[in-house]
Each structure stands twice: as C-alpha cells, then as structure tokens.
C-alpha cells in the first residue's frame, strides 16, 4: 500500500516543521494562548470533517474520556512543553533532540505497560541513547538556558511518551477523526484556562504570525497528528516511535537555514550516538 510506505516519511517532514513553526510564531504570541487557539480551531475543523464524512460525534463516554487523556498528554503536556521551552530560549533543534528520546522511554516502559520484553542489546541501546542526549544538551546548559526551559521540554518528553503508550493500549478502537477532535477540545480548553490564569494572552497578528498559525493548524494539528495516530493504530509503538529520531536532523537543517541555529560537532556526535542506541533497541524488536 503506497500510503503505508509514504506516510512515515511525510510524518517526519510535517512533525519537524512543528518546532520551526513554534520558533517562527512565538515572538509574537504568548505560548499557551497561541496553542489554545490553534488547538480549538483544529478541533472545530475535525468536528466539521466528521460531519462531512457522515460519521457521528457520539463515540461513547469511555472513548471520550480516553481521548481526553490522550489529548492531555499529547497536546497539553507535549505541545505545551515544547512551546513554553522555546519561548524561554531553548533552540528548536535542541527541543527536537530532547523530545526525540521518546523511543527509548517507550521501549523501556512498554515492558510494563504493553508486556514487551527487553533484552541485553536493547539495554545497551537505551544507555547509548541517554549518553547521546547528554552530549547534545551539554552545550545548551553551558549557554545558560533557563532551567524552566529544560523542565518544560522534559514535561514535553514525558507527555509524548505517555500519549504513545496510552494511544497504543487504549486508543485503537476510538474513531480516528472524532477521537482526535475530542482530544483537541479538552486540551484546548485546558490550555486556554492556563493562559487566562497566568495572564499570558498577548498575540500580535502580523504576516509572520498568521503564516505560522495557519501552517501549524493545517500541517501539524490536522495532518501530522492524524498521521501519528493512524501509524500507531497500524503499527507497533516502538516502530512508530523510532520515527522521532529522524526529526532532529530535519529540524536542525531547517533551523540552520531559517534562524541560523548551529549544531556543533559534539551535538552531531550526540545525535549519532542516540540514533545508534535507538537502532539497537528497535532492530531487536523487528
């Protein structure tokens, strides 16, 4: 099936642009109101798509609760953490690298959550993955990035990991479009409440922000997220998570041309070691 072969590569390209879109638009908006509006509009679009497809919004209270939980981890925690960390000074490339360690955590936690086995080769891979991320992060810490930015990207990593496991364990029987719409509805409202509570509701509507806003809604909130959930429903959690290790190089290339962000030799070495570690984990499972 051509879609099945092409979808992973399309997902990587779309997902990597999310970090770029955040970096591009965040100088003109507070992160939580930016995300809340983006996600709520995406929810409205998906509810309309559901209606046009002749489907129903009534997917059952159990499915709605699970969708809300997945949305909390994937959109409120993951996206909220990424946006806030970048708004506090973390580079788009480093944010992509840190969150892309998700395959290692998914493989480790899947032993308990999904009943998968972890062998010696995978353990070696996990250790290499962590060493690689430390190598990438060290120059960032030396440049005095605020601790709050590092904590926020850690929340994003945990959210992405939890969302993958919950979606794989409980989300396969939830209608894709309607379920995603409910994810957005609940997480968008939650992020809006946070924005109001922290008085972070400033937006400067200009050409750059509008382009970023439209791109993130269409390409990310509709395109990439639906692709991710479709891939999870049709493949293993580990194999889908492995795609996240293709995101940092794609993000770094885009960030270099658009923002002049550079990754030094140590950073590239860290990316390589991390990729090797995840390859060891995933090839053992294949």
Phi, psi of 117 (to 5 degrees): -95, 150
| pLDDT for 116 | 65
- In this structure, which long-range contacts are made by residues 120-127, counting pairs with CB atoms below 8 Å and at least 24 apart in sequence? 121/280, 121/281, 121/284, 122/280, 122/281, 122/284, 122/285, 124/277, 124/280, 125/276, 125/277, 125/278, 125/279, 125/280, 125/281, 125/284, 126/277, 126/281, 127/277
What secondary structure letter does DSSP report for 216? I
Q: Which residue has the higher pLDDT, 142 or 245?
A: 245
Quick count: other Cβ atoms within 10 Å of Cβ 131?
16
Average pLDDT estimate for 61-87: 94
Q: What is the pLDDT of residue 251?
A: 78
**Cβ–Cβ under 8 Å, residues 160 and 73:** yes
Q: How far is CA 5 from the centre of its chain?
A: 21
pLDDT in the model for residue 114:
67
Alpha helices in 143-224, H assignment, sequence order: 147-170, 176-197, 207-215
Residue-wise DSSP of 48-108: HHHHHTT--S---HHHHHHHHHHHIIIIIIIIHHHHHHHHTT--HHHHHHHHTTHHHHHHH
How crowded is residue 112: how many other Cβ atoms within 10 Å of its Cβ?
Answer: 9
pLDDT greater than 70 at residue 279? yes
Residue-range domain boundaries for the chain: 2-285
Report angle CA 122, 234, 58 to the nearest 5 degrees. 130
Percent share of the chain, pLDDT over 70: 88
Q: Which residue has the higher pLDDT, 61 or 238?
A: 61
Residue 252 has pLDDT above 80, yes or no: no
126 C-beta neighbours (distance < 10 Å), count: 21
Average pLDDT, the chain: 84
- Better-predicted residue by pLDDT, 73 or 146: 73
| C-beta separation of 97 from 271 below 8 A | yes
Confidence of residue 179 (pLDDT cuts 50, 70, 90): very high
pLDDT at 108 over 80: no
Q: What is the pLDDT of residue 129?
A: 75
**Residue of 71, 172, 165, 160 whose CA lies nearest to 112:** 165
Q: Which residue has the higher pLDDT, 4 or 49?
A: 49
Return the half-sphere exposure (C-beta side, CA atoms, 13 A cut-off) of residue 119: 8
Residue 50: C-alpha distances to residues 104, 176, 222, 226 (Å)? 35, 10, 13, 13
């Amino acid at each position: 099936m051509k879609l099945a072969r092409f979808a992973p590569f399309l997902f990587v390209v779309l997902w990597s642009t999310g970090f770029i879109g955040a970096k591009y638009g965040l100088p003109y908006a507070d992160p939580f109101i930016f995300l809340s509006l983006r996600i709520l509009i995406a929810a409205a679009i998906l509810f309309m798509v559901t209606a046009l497809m002749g489907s129903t919004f009534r997917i059952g209270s159990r499915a709605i609760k699970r969708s809300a939980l997945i949305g909390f981890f994937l959109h409120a925690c993951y996206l909220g953490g990424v946006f806030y960390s970048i708004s506090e000074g973390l580079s788009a490339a480093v944010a992509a690298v840190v969150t892309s360690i998700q395959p290692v955590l998914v493989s480790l936690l899947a032993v308990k959550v999904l009943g998968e086995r972890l062998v010696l080769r995978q353990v070696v891979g996990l250790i290499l993955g962590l060493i690689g991320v430390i190598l990438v992060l060290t120059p960032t810490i030396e440049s005095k990035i605020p601790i709050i930015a590092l904590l926020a990207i850690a929340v994003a990593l945990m959210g992405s990991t939890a969302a993958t496991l919950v979606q794989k364990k409980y989300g396969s029987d939830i209608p894709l479009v309607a379920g995603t719409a409910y994810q957005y509805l609940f997480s968008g409202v939650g992020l809006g409440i946070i924005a109001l509570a922290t008085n972070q509701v400033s937006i400067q509507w200009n050409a750059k922000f509008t382009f970023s806003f439209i791109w993130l809604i269409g390409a990310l909130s509709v395109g990439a997220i639906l692709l991710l959930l479709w891939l999870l429903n049709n493949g293993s959690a580990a194999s889908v998570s492995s795609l996240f290790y293709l995101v940092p190089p794609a993000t770094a290339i885009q960030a270099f041309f658009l923002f002049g962000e550079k990754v030094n030799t140590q950073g590239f070495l860290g990316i390589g070691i991390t990729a090797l570690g995840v390859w060891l984990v995933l090839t053992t499972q294949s």
